[in-house]
Amino acid sequence: MNLESVLFTQGFGSRRQCRTLIADGHVTIDGALHADPDADVSTETLTFSVDGIAWPYREHAYLLLNKPAGYECSREPQHHLSVFNLLPPQFAERGVQCVGRLDQDTTGLLLLSDDGKFVHAFTSPKRKVPKVYLATTRHPLDEAQLGALREGVLLHGEPKPIAAVSANARGEHALELTVLEGKYHQVKRMVAAAGNRVEALHRERIGGLGLPATLAVGAWQWLDEADLGSLRSG
């Protein structure tokens, strides 16, 4: 692939903008300046740098973001900042989108990708992917509430009760809830139907992939093959 196409596929602007970046001496590979937009480069294990910032070539972007509160999972947010403000602009340029959504006040594990098949696979209602949340509740938890969540609660507009895969108390006001669906405000609605209220909500895990303890709030990282395998194995 020529160098212009590499930058173009990785979200560095239009083809003309990519040619200009290269020709003006902004791009290096292995520390060596590459100023020919038409130069052929191997994309296998390729890492290039633009203005000193290293970028690994990825045919598709698979990302994990530790989402903070106060951000909307939308390119056109209504009342808060977009989660895309937390990412380099190249990702939006190449069409990265959220894999499902978290409410603006919900924190934790958020996946993003520009791979349409991947996005569909993990948002399709037909694919039952377990998601683990930690909810802080307004009122103390009791066995009646936990039992109702495990057995199933009827949500407004739904034809039949929805049951959690598991519902366990981690503390008097700390609920660990695992669900398979991804319905609108599902966890909050389920907890309300069980007789309590969610004050704060944090997603810890999707499938077999957990939020890394070392990833700071608001930070992101690439997902590698091992991560993707964990995600699918869950």
The string of pLDDT tens digits covering residues 9-37 is 999 999 999 999 999 999 999 999 999 99
Q: Are residues 100 and 150 in the same domain?
A: no
Active-site option among 36, 103, 105, 115: 103
Q: Are residues 72 and 42 in the same domain?
A: no
Q: Are residues 18 and 120 in the same domain?
A: no
Lookup result for tokens 């000193």 = 52
Q: Are residues 114 and 221 in the same domain?
A: yes
Tally the C-alpha atoms within 13 A of residue 202's C-alpha that lie toward its C-beta: 14
Q: CA 152 to CA 216: how far, in whole Å?
A: 35
230 or 41, greater pLDDT: 41
Closest-CA residue to 65 (of 105, 114, 103, 98): 98
Residue 103 appears among annotated catalytic residues: yes
Q: Are residues 135 and 197 in the same domain?
A: yes
User: What is the CATH number for 28?
Assistant: 3.10.290.10
- In sequence order, what are the residues at sequence separation of 6 or more whose Cβ sits closer than 8 angstroms to the Cβ of residue 177? 132, 133, 134, 135, 149, 164, 166, 167, 187, 190, 191
Q: Give the residue numbers spanning the domain of 159.
A: 131-206
Q: Are residues 212 and 202 in the same domain?
A: no
Based on the structure, what is the number of domains in the chain?
3
Residue-wise pLDDT for 166-224, tens only, equals: 999 999 999 999 999 888 899 999 999 999 999 999 999 999 999 999 999 999 999 99
User: What is the CATH number for 70?
Assistant: 3.30.70.580
